[in-house]
Amino acid sequence: MKRILFVCTGNTCRSPMAEAMFRAKTAGQEFEVRSAGVAAYAGQPASAHAQAVLAERGISHAHESSQLDEALIEWSDLILTMTNNHKHAILTFFPAAADKVHTLQEFAGVEGLRDIADPFGGALEDYRRCAEEIEESLDRLLERLMEVRFRK
């Protein structure tokens, strides 16, 4: 899998953090990474707290939100959502994508599957906790992708 799409609601908090963090983890590898929202207003920057959390991690990300659409669905090899509701929304509007849509934690093999809570409107600490949860899932995701890659 080369093209990974992270999806949340407005594409200003969770999915941009996941996109930027995964891109940083896989720099120089064969991954293309994007993010989008199921209810996004195109062209919005990442929230100030999301940008601050990324900066604390040494990650620069000039983000503009994108609305999930058919072109992004077709572009992606793997679509990873932050919640089950996002997954179900995608499957409702794009049923042909069923084989490549998963929650991030589901695909990464995180035990006790749970949604990644939306920090929108919360304090900086809420964004830090969210980023920690995303990072744990991304580390597991990368391990899984490497296992699949080297099994072939």
Pairing of strands 101-103, 78-81: parallel
Is residue 130 annotated as a catalytic residue, yes or no? no
The whole-angstrom separation of Cα 12 and Cα 9 is 8
Is residue 13 annotated as a catalytic residue, yes or no? no
Is residue 8 annotated as a catalytic residue, yes or no? yes
Structure tokens at 24: 């940083």
Contacts 24+ apart (CB under 8 A), 93-97: 94/70, 97/73
* Options 115, 118, 126, 139, the catalytic residue: 118
* Options 13, 14, 34, 130, the catalytic residue: 14
Closest listed residue to residue 84, CA positions, set 55, 116, 57: 116
The whole-angstrom separation of Cα 93 and Cα 90 is 5
* Options 8, 13, 34, 130, the catalytic residue: 8
Catalytic residue list: 8, 14, 118
